[in-house]
A and B are shown apart, each in its own frame.
Chain A
């Protein structure tokens, strides 16, 4: 092994960190003028990391996975697939950002730098095989997120969102840390393999408390009910490109981290956490569906939609089988594209004066004003609702299939019933766009990048997305199996 191999396995993280440091220096000396160039450089670095990770994915599928730095960091099919999704989402968010801040002249080179460090932290989260790596990665990505949430300083709601996210996120980190200290106390180690071994020999009440605390803290980070209260407020207040980021990349990272945590160190004790996950899954689906019904603000609505989607993802986790883990990854991949597409569409919705349009009244009759945008949103909403010809259906299908295979018929049945409630507001979205009287006629102007992200997302969620299923399924299956390969 040795250092060379460790450095090779972590080169995506190291490369991104060094790029971040260099760009930070560049932005310190060039000021605001170079912010766009720095954004492009950051996106290029992320693309480099994406290509590297894709090659790594190829390696890991052939069994060339490995630990780096002792047992701190693991590169396997699971971490590589999650990182690919994270990097794609982060690049898309960087593409969507500069135009938003331009009008107020608030865009600065620190924004892409913080995104890069956040990506490094997320990479550490999904690769962590030691509770210390997990915590450091989580803090790195969260701290950057708090700053990004309040990046629009002249907007009081952005500051409010940042403060709220910071206080509640800090509380969640404290809960996780407390859980980690209990787990460490009862197992004597922070390494995932060691914890698994220790818990297999002895698993007492104190250890259960530790596991529950850790899972509760992580549930806060993925915004699962009953730890979801912050989501609508933060998503509404934060600048829309930042909301796009929160709903995509960190969610993938937190879910992937949760899955690895549940299956690797706590995998031998699935009985003790399964009920919690089942409860969180069902509660998220129901609260996400019911809470969204009364919303007038589209960002709040999408926040509830993300809570709802986390519920479906947790159903895959509750199954506690390799198929479940694979289903979680497939769902995450589809969810990332649906989220990116919906928010890209929201970002295109602004009048020539630059005011953001974010309520239902603003999209009334969109089909007559901007048919292309309306049809794209229609595809995305139907996909989020899980209506069959679209790719969103496949995600829900694999998740429920995993639950049924794990003999959790009741869970799957309740989930399917609740997804029908959720379909209501997605369809309401479409109804307002296509059948309501248009308000004042507005023209939309958006840069090519926004349309590119939207078009790509729509292409993925369209029935053409099914062409991806063999490829995606193979990778997800390999990734799911790695979590259950006990060393």
Chain B
């Protein structure tokens, strides 16, 4: 019973927050909704007994990816003062979301203690349920049966890294915004400014 309630709660909230991700006008809000969506997806994973994937979702997606998004979004040109002004107005909403998250945590842990949710029977020839703890099972599969794909995925990450460096790294000389402090200090007012005594009614020739 508790699992069913938890399932519907998580499922509804995933969909609702996913809708909010794309409808929120403020990009920072979008990212926060995204975090809520990830949290609820993690809750769903806990319900089916895949606690390892649930933790991955929380650690990788909420912890790293979403925070990275938040940084990127904050670098965009957003009026911070307007955001701050909205803090008090948005506070009740934030509080509600925090309470919902808390309730979900309690419910999720309760549901996890109560055992796995009964899944529908798969259509045909589905993968056998794994008996061992699923962290161990994933590890065993990843390093034996799917070793080739695991290594290939590593190369994909390497390619992404090479790409990021190739596209952003510039050799020091052509670096934009390079500051030469001694050159700045050597500069005297006489080098850059001129005193003029213009007579009345005449302009200054520059």
Contacts and interface: CB of A to CB of B under 8 A. Distances in A.
A136 B124 contact: no
Interface stretch (B58-66, B84-92, B105-113, B160-168): B160-168
Nearest to B124: A198
A17 B159 CA distance: 11
B39 to A, nearest CB: 21
Interface string A64-83: 00001110110000000000
B126 interface: yes
Contacts of B126: 188-189
Interface string A28-54: 000000000000000000000000000
A151 B149 contact: no
B156 A136 contact: yes
B160 to A, nearest CB: 6
Interface string B99-138: 0000000000000000000000011111100000000000
B156 A69 contact: no
A77 B126 CA distance: 30
Interface centre among B149, B159, B160 (most CB of A within 10 A): B159
Contacts of B24: none
Interface stretch (B26-34, B140-148, B194-202): B140-148
Contact of B146 (A10, A72, A120): A72
A186 B127 CA distance: 12
Contact of B166 (A20, A108, A140, A197): A108
A286 B149 CA distance: 39
B122 to A, nearest CB: 5
A398 to B, nearest CB: 34
B148 A146 contact: no
A153 B166 CA distance: 9
Interface string A183-195: 0011111000010
B155 interface: yes
Contacts of B146: 69, 72, 132
A70 B146 CA distance: 9
Contacts of A114: 159, 162-163, 166
A147 B166 contact: yes
A280 interface: no
Interface in A1-20: 6, 10, 17, 20
B122 A188 contact: yes
B153 interface: yes
**A-side binding surface: helix, strand, loop or mixed?**
helix
Given A187-B124, A187-B125, A24 B162 contact: yes
Nearest to B165: A110
A202 B148 contact: no
B152 interface: yes
A189 B167 contact: no
Given A73-B148, A150-B167, A17 B125 contact: no
A188 B123 contact: yes
B156 A140 contact: yes
Contacts of B122: 188
B155 A140 contact: yes
Contact of B125 (A6, A68, A198): A198
A201 B165 CA distance: 49
B155 A117 contact: yes
Interface residues of A, number: 43
Contacts of A187: 123-125
Contacts of A233: none
Interface string A88-125: 00000000000000000000101001100100100010
B159 A72 contact: no
A307 B127 CA distance: 40
A202 to B, nearest CB: 6
B155 A146 contact: no
A127 to B, nearest CB: 11
A136 B152 contact: yes
Contacts of A10: 148
A144 interface: yes
Interface of A: 6, 10, 17, 20-21, 24, 68-70, 72-73, 108, 110, 113-114, 117, 120, 124, 132-133, 136-137, 139-140, 143-144, 146-147, 150-151, 153, 162, 185-189, 194, 197-198, 201-202, 204
29 contacts: A10-B148, A17-B155, A20-B155, A21-B158, A72-B149, A73-B148, A113-B162, A114-B159, A114-B162, A117-B158, A117-B159, A120-B152, A120-B155, A124-B152, A133-B152, A136-B153, A137-B152, A140-B152, A143-B163, A144-B163, A147-B162, A187-B123, A188-B124, A188-B125, A188-B127, A189-B127, A202-B123, A202-B124, A204-B123
Given A17-B155, A110-B162, A147-B166, 11 more contacts: A108-B166, A110-B165, A117-B155, A124-B152, A133-B148, A137-B152, A153-B167, A188-B122, A189-B127, A198-B123, A198-B124
Interface of B: 122-127, 145-149, 152-153, 155-156, 158-160, 162-163, 165-167
